[in-house]
Amino acid sequence: MERLVILFLSFLFIHLNCSGQFAIKRGVLDCNNKHTQDSLIEKYIQNGAEKLPYLYNDPTWGLYFDSIITLCPNIASAYQLKAIPFIKNGDYAKAFPLEDKAVELDPKRWTGYRGFLKCIFTKDYEGAITDFQKAQQLLPNGFEMDHTYLFYEGLCNLELGNYSEAEKNLKQDISIQSGGNLENEVEVHFNTLLYVGILYYEMGDNKNAKEYLLKCLNKYKELPEANYYLALVYKRENNTGLKDKYLQIAKQTIGQYTNNEDNLYYVNYPHQITLFEIEKELTK
């Protein structure tokens, strides 16, 4: 198999050379040339791996990126994409050396992504904070997976119990989303509002917890976590009627509605709840 791959690469090398799609320097591929990199990405990713019917679930997925790495080992996206099946399957020991290489080659693009993986997948919150702070320096107010770096840093600090830092991070996230106006929350993602509400619940601040959880529900009334944590706030206030109301909504919606994050199928998000937790609260 390895021999066939090498023969295929040799054929491709000749084909690309004849078609003039990449640059030659001192008799070898000029891997620092953008046209060379773009040609390899087009050949192996856009017209190769991305055409596979099952994408990263296809057993040949990694071969496309091995081909790029063999020809030009300085293309960061090849390492990041090769790591995807390992991430999805929980094989982090194989995934992170590839992610580390991607960061080494293109830190501006991939540092924040590695921080996302540490925050959401491996729960390495301290390592994630380090990555997000570096990413913020490289790309101020940058986004990863529809959220700012500061959003994820806030989640990490929330999970670590660093509540004042989490509050600061999440308020900065709101500021970025709202264009600097904290009173204008029309564009603020409902999950930001959810986690600010959860943060205030954890801090024992019922007033602010209710405010943000209700704002979250105003955007997404079926979100189970928002209903559940709002119920816990009312439980703390000995308001049994409203506690039961929101627990029942959480029970009715869980399994049908989610936080709509892309990777929810593969991993649990911070403070994500289960039906067991809801039913346990209903019996108390």
Domains and CATH numbers, the chain: 1-105 (no CATH), 114-179 (1.25.40), 189-284 (1.25.40.10)
Please name which of 117, 122, 160 lies closest in space to residue 135, comparing C-alpha atoms. Answer: 117
pLDDT of amino acid 122: 98
pLDDT of amino acid 284: 84
pLDDT of amino acid 27: 44
Here the tokens at position 131 are 């990555």
Strand partners, 29: 24
Output the pTM of the full model.
0.89
CB 235 within 8 A of CB 201: no
CB 240 within 8 A of CB 220: no
pLDDT of amino acid 195: 98
Contacts of residue 234, Cβ cutoff 8 Å, sequence gap at least 6: 240, 242, 243, 246
What are the 10-residue block averages of pLDDT along the chain, 284 residues in total? 44 47 59 92 94 94 96 97 97 98 98 98 98 98 96 98 98 92 79 98 98 97 98 97 98 96 94 97 91
pLDDT of amino acid 22: 53
